[in-house]
């Protein structure tokens, strides 16, 4: 139960950080994201650097998915 509470608090802190960041930000923003469909990453972004960073993160998550899955099998 404590792990669920900890995760909920982390999500709330993350939302608050993004909200505060949007209030105080000025200038041009770069947008990017990563969608995981099962173990397959799909990256997108407004700049090539951001898209490459998202894809590297996606590949690392995919590898982690396979390593944890193999260990628990």
Q: What is the pLDDT of residues 9-65, one digit of tens each?
A: 999 999 999 999 888 887 787 888 999 898 888 999 999 999 999 999 999 988 988
The reported pLDDT for the residue numbered 31 is: 87
Spell out the residues 6+ positions from residue 32 whose beta carbon is closer than 8 angstroms to its own: 43, 44, 45, 46, 47, 50, 51, 53, 54
The structural domain count of the chain equals 1
The reported pLDDT for the residue numbered 55 is: 93
pTM of this structure: 0.59
Count Cβ atoms below 10 Å from residue 49 Cβ, excluding itself. Answer: 11
- Structural domain for 54, as ranges: 2-72
**Is 73 a residue whose pLDDT tops 70?**
no
Contact status, residue 65 vs residue 43, Cβ threshold 8 Å? no
């Amino acid at each position: 139960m404590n792990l669920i509470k900890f995760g909920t608090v982390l999500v709330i802190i993350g939302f608050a950080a993004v909200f505060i960041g949007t209030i105080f930000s000025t200038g041009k923003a770069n947008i990017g994201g990563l969608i995981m469909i099962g173990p397959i990453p799909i990256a997108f972004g407004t700049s090539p650097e951001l898209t490459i960073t998202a894809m590297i993160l996606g590949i690392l998550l995919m590898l982690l998915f396979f390593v944890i899955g193999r260990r628990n099998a």
